[in-house]
Structure 1
Amino acid sequence: MFSRVKGFRDIYGEEAVYWERIERIFKETFHTFNFREFILPVLERADVFHRGIGDTTDIVEKEMFAFKDRDDTMVALRPEGTASLVRAYVENKLYNPPSVKKYYYIGPMFRRERPQKGRFRQFYQAGIEVFGAEGAAADAEVIYLLRTLADKAGIGDMVTMEINSIGCPECRPAYYKTLVAYFEQHKESLCEDCKRRLGKNPMRILDCKVESCRAVTKNAPVMLDYLCNECENHFSDVKKYLTAFGVEYNINKMMVRGLDYYVRTAFEMVTNHLGSQNAVGAGGRYDGLIKLLGGPEVPGIGFALGIDRLVALAMQKDNIKDKGADVFIIAFKDVSDVKCAELVKNFRERSIIAEIDYAFRAMKKQIKSADSSGARFTLILGDEEMDRGEVSVKNMETGEQTSVKLDEVVEYIQNKL
C-alpha cells in the first residue's frame, strides 16, 4: 500500500465541502471587487523567487523545493504567488497600455518546512494583486477586501486586522542604522540566522520566531518613529480610508512581514484560534518589485490568504454536512430503467442532484442505497407506478409517501427543495 508524502495531505468529505464553499465565496467576492482570475504555472525558474522574495528570507534560504532541470536550469515549485504573478505581468507586457490591473489567483503553494498542525508542505492560497495604483486608497481597499472575505466566510469574529508602515528606501537607512546598533548590543542573544541577517537585512530579525530573538525584539526601535513625511502621510491616509470602509484594525509596530519586497503598508489578519499558526492572511505594498523583475516602475499591492487555515476556522464555527443527492431514483431493469435515465436527465437540467443505482438491483438493496445516500427524497418507479404513469415519492426526513404524475414530478421536487 502506498502512503502520502510527508507534509502533504488528502482533502475529502466534510472538509472538501467547506473547501468548495470557501472557494465559491472567494471567487464571487473577487469579481464583486472587479478582479479577474490569473492562472499561474506551479513551476518557475528559481531565480524568480531569489530576486523577487529575497535571498535572506526563510523561504529562499530554507524552504523552497528547488532542483535542477535536465537542461541544468534551477527551477522551483512556487512557494508563494506574488513573485510568479509579477513575472507573468512583466513577461506578457500587461503594463501596456498603462492602467490599473486587478488580478486574483487560487492554487497550491509548496514549502519544505517542518510539518505541524496548520502548516503543510503543500498548502493552498487565494491571493490578489493590484498593479498601477499607488495611492493610500488602494491599500485600504485591499485590506477591506481581505476583511470582507473573512466576514463572508463566516469567521469575521475569529480574526483581527493588524497594520503597520515599514517605510520606504528614503527613510529606512536611518532606521536601519539605529536598529543595527540596538541588535549589536544584544548580539549574543540572537540565533545564528539572525546574527547573519544583522549584516544583510536587520528588519528580518523582527520577524524571527526563535524565543531568544523575540525577547530581544520586544524593546527594539520601531519603523513608525522613523517614517519620512511622505510615508507618514501615506499611512495616515490608509487609516482614514479604512475608517471610511468600516474596517477595524490594530497597529502592530513590530510587524515587518516575511518577504523583502514590501514597502510602506504591511498588514496581517490574525487569529488566536489556531494555536501558534496565527496568521490567516497577509500582504502589503511592493512598489519596487515589478522593476526588480525586469518591468517598468509600476506600483503594486496585494495579499495572500491561507485557504487551509481559513477552512480550519470555518469548521470550528459551524457544521456543514456533506450534502447527498436531492433525489434517489429506484428503478428496475427492463421495466423502468430507460424512464429512470430520462428522469435523471430532467432533474439535472434543473440543477437538482439526482442519483440512481446503475446495477438496478433488487428493491431492498436499492432502498438501502437510498437510505445511505443522504437523499432528501426517494422516487420509486415500479411496475404499478409505470402502468399508472406515476412515481411514488418518499420524503426521507418525515417518512411521508405520495404518488405524483411522472410528467409533474420534476417540478414537484423542485418546489419541495
Structure 2
Amino acid sequence: MSSDPWGRVDETGTVYVRTAEGEKVVGSWQAGTPEEALAYFERKYEGLVVEIGLLEKRVKTTDLSAKDAQTAIEHIRQQVDEHHAVGDLAALAARLDKLTESVESRREERKVQKAKQADEARSAKEALVTEAEELAQSEQWRAAGERLRALVDIWKGLPRLDRKSDDELWHRFSHARSVFSKRRKGHFAQLDAQREDARKAKERLVAEAESLSNSTDWGTTAARYRELMADWKAAGRAQREHEDDLWNRFRGAQDVFFAARSGVFAERDAEQTDNLRLKEELATEAEKLVPVTDLKAARAAFRGVNERWEAIGHVPRDARPKVEGRMQAVERAIQEAEEAEWRRTNPEARARAAGLTGQLQDAVEKLRKQIDAARAAGNDAKADKLSRELEGRQALLDQALKGLEEFGG
C-alpha cells in the first residue's frame, strides 16, 4: 500500500483522497505501482490547479462574459466534487467559491456600466436630434447640409437603445433632415425661378439695346443706355449658361451706338483728352479693388467708380481699348469672384460635376484596358485608334477635374 498526505492506494489498487468528510474513492489503478497511481491522480489535481488559475486570470483581465465564466466554473467544480484527483480538494472548492463571487460582482458592475452606457447613448442621441431640429430651420444650406451628414455618421457610431426609444428618436432625427432637404430644395427652386425671371428681363433689355444701336439721337439714346444699364444691374443674374451671351449682346449693342457717336464727334478729341485722364484715374482706382477680398464692398465700390466713369463721356478712339480694357479686367475679376461664390453655394452643380467626372474616369479606364488588350493581341492599328480617342477623353476629364476643383475639392 502506498500513501501521501492527501491520498493512498490500498492493496486492491483502489485510490482514495482525504477530505474533511473522510476518505473518498478516486478510482482504481491496476496498470502499475501504487506510486504511479498516486502520481497520476496528483497530476490530475495539478491540472485542476492550473485550470482554475487560468480561469481566475481570464475573469480578471479579459472581457469573458459572466455566463461563460460560470459555465467554466461549474465544469471544474464537477470534477472537484466527484473527487477525480488527489490533493487539497477543499482548497480548490474555496477558490471556486471566491471566483464565483468575483464573477457575480463583475456581472453587477457590467449591469451598472451597461445602464450607464445606455443613458449616455440616449443623451447623445437626444442631443443629435435637438441639433438636427435646429439645423432644419437654417438657411446656411451648405454648412447645415454638411453638418447633418456628419450627424448621421455620429448616430451610426452610437449604441442602439431599446427599440421603442431608438425608433422614436430616429423618427425625429430623420424628420428634421427631411424638413431641411425640403426647405433647401424649395430655396433653390425659387432661386432658379428668380434667375429665369432675370433672363426674361435681360432678353427684353437686350432687344431694346439692339434696337437703339443705330440711333443718331446721341444725347437721348446715350441717356437711355445708362437707364438700361441700371435696369440690367437691378435685374439680377440669369442662369450661368445665358448670362455671358446676354451680356455680350447687350454690351455689343451699346458698343455699336457709342462707336458711331465717337465717329461723329471725332473733332472733339481735344476735349476727350481730359476725359481720358479722368478715366485713367478711375481705372487706377478700380484696379485697387483687385484681388477681390470683400466681394460685396468691391461690387459697391466698382459700381460707384463705374457710375462716375459713365458720366465722364468718351475718350479718344485710339486710347479707348486700353483704358476700357483696364476697367473690363477689374469687372471680369469681380464677375469671376461672383461666379466662384455662386458655385460654392450650389451643391447641385457640384453633384453634377462630380457625376460627370466619375463617368469620364470610368470611360478613360475602360479605353486604357481596351488599348492594353489590343496591344497584347498585336492589333496596333486598333490600339492607335483607341489611343487617339483616349487623348480626347483625357482632355475632357482634365477639364472636368479642373472644374470640380473650383467647388473646393
Query: TM-score scaled to structure 2, two decimals?
Result: 0.18
Which of structures 1 and 2 has the bigger CA Rg? Answer: 2
Name whichever structure is richer in strand by fraction: 1
Q: Which has the higher helix share?
A: 2
Relative contact order: is structure 1 or structure 2 higher (C-alpha 8 Å, sep ≥ 6)? 1
TM-score by length of 1: 0.18
